[in-house]
Amino acid sequence: MYYKFSGFTQKLTGSAPTAAYSPQGLRPAIPAESPTMIFATPTKMVSEAGATAEYMGANRVPDLQRLFQTSDGIPVHLKRGVPDRLLYRTTMALTVGGALYCLVALYIAAQPSNK
Amino acid sequence: MAHQAHAYHMVDPSPWPLTGAVAALLMTSGLAVWFHFHSTMLLLLGTILLLLTMFQWWRDIIREGTFQGHHTPPVQKSLRYGMILFITSEVLFFLGFFWAFYHSSLAPTPELGGFWPPTGITPLNPFEVPLLNTAVLLASGVTVTWAHHSIMERERKQAIQALTLTILLGFYFTLLQAMEYYEAPFTIADGVYGSTFFVATGFHGLHVIIGSTFLAICLLRQIRYHFTSEHHFGFEAAAWYWHFVDVVWLFLYISIYWWGS
């Protein structure tokens, strides 16, 4: 990543490579003695810097890891709360209802036909 | 989480084996009821229950692996063995269809006219759409490898693009096969040629659709940052499966489309 001096924050910020190759020079507003360099953000490797890291949404994995690793004794299939319970109960209702309906259907199918 | 002194995954009690078993009961009984009483109610119920079970079971496996960290190196090793055994069983499944094909075609019975392709069958030209399909699947094998190396080298954007391209190639293959089936001058009812051709290529097509779905789930997980450069077995399993589908196509192309015509 390339850096330039930001006149607004008075700190170093990231910049495009082209900006880094054309020196800013001395401007009236900037004091002749350069201020102590303070990095606006912790320095990062090129691969994890800026726009690429945000490509197609932010990383929510750490939050989800925190959520799913809380020790509250809830089994993994219900750990996310209401949506999980809703889906689980729908599935269970279909399982019990379907099994009963199936037994009835098979019982009817087993009766001799009157033809 | 309770302290544990080993690296193995102690699973939570799960309802999905039960719901999956009932789904299987409903689907098989549903088929019988459909055949005998023309009612698809039970079959539909079974299908919905199966889809719900599949979604939630695999969702939980992602939670266990990616969010809870249960897929430790020894657990990953077991997952690898499991996937290898599964693909081996699939190889043997397809071997059966190739056996049927070669059994029928190497010594054609007098009823077929004593030669292959049998009397009255106009086979598809292997150097038209089937050759394009071969090129499409080989290209998708390249893009899936590109996606794998992108994941290993932390090239998030490239991994997403390569995976998308692989899935698009998979869909293109399915589209071409559907058109080829529509245009085919013979049907599954046209003797042993039709049955071996459509059962073998049909099951292959089904596997392409399953493989594309598997890769699409991987794309979704890649977009959501589930894969790291070191740990991405879900993707690797999908890539293995995709290569398997690719190799089966090469055998189908050489045997049924080319040699068989």
Please give the structure tokens belonging to residue A36.
């102590």
What ipTM does this complex have?
A: 0.86
Do residues B200 and B94 lie in contact, with contact meaning Cβ atoms separated by under 8 Å?
yes
Q: What is the mean pLDDT of residues B201-225?
A: 98
Say which DSSP state A37 is in: P
Helix A82-110 to helix B16-37 angle (10° resolution) is 40
Chain B residues with CB under 8 Å of A53 CB are: 156
Q: Which of B14, B30, B160 faces A77 most closely, judged by CB atoms?
A: B14
Q: Each residue of A35-75: pLDDT tens digit?
A: 566 666 555 555 555 555 568 899 999 999 999 999 999 99
**Chain B contacts to A (CB-CB under 8 A):** 1-2, 12-16, 18-19, 22-23, 25-26, 29-30, 32-33, 36-37, 42, 45-46, 48-49, 52-53, 56, 60, 63-64, 66-69, 154, 156-157, 160, 223-226
Distance CA B249, CA B138 (A): 10
pTM reported for the whole predicted model: 0.83
**Where do the domains of chain B lie?**
1-70, 72-258
Q: Domain B72-258, what fold?
A: Four Helix Bundle (Hemerythrin (Met), subunit A) (1.20.120)
Contact status of A95 with chain B (Cβ, < 8 Å): yes
Contacts of residue B79, defined as CB under 8 A and 6 or more positions apart, other chains included, come to B71, B233, B237
Three-state helix/strand/coil letters over chain B: CCCCCCCCCCCCCCCHHHHHHHHHHHHHHHHHHHHHHCCCHHHHHHHHHHHHHHHHHHHHHHHHHHHCCCCCHHHHHHHHHHHHHHHHHHHHHHHHHHHHHHHHHHCCCHHHCCCCCCCCCCCCCCCCHHHHHHHHHHHHHHHHHHHHHHHHCCCHHHHHHHHHHHHHHHHHHHHHHHHHHHHCCCCCCCHHHHHHHHHHHHHHHHHHHHHHHHHHHHHHHHHCCCCCCCCCHHHHHHHHHHHHHHHHHHHHHHHHHHHCC
Q: Which of A53, A88, A102 faces B15 most closely, judged by CB atoms?
A: A88
Q: Each residue of B1-15: pLDDT tens digit?
A: 567 899 999 999 999
Among chain B residues, the shortest Cα distance to A51 is held by B157
CB contact under 8 A, B56 and A91: yes
CB contact under 8 A, A91 and B15: yes
Counted across chains A and B, CB pairs separated by less than 8 A come out at 100
Q: Which of A76, A87, A92 faces B63 most closely, judged by CB atoms?
A: A76
- Probe site for chain A from B28, B154, B225 (most A CB atoms < 10 A): B225
pLDDT at A82 over 60: yes
Q: Domain B1-70, what fold?
A: Helix Hairpins (1.10.287)
- Calculate the average pLDDT of chain A: 80
DSSP bridge partners of A2: A15
Among chain A residues, the shortest Cα distance to B67 is held by A65
Q: Each residue of B99-124: pLDDT tens digit?
A: 999 999 999 999 999 999 999 999 99
Q: Which of B15, B26, B160 faces A98 most closely, judged by CB atoms?
A: B26
Domains B1-70 and B72-258 equal at CATH topology level: no
Distance CA A74, CA B254 (A): 54
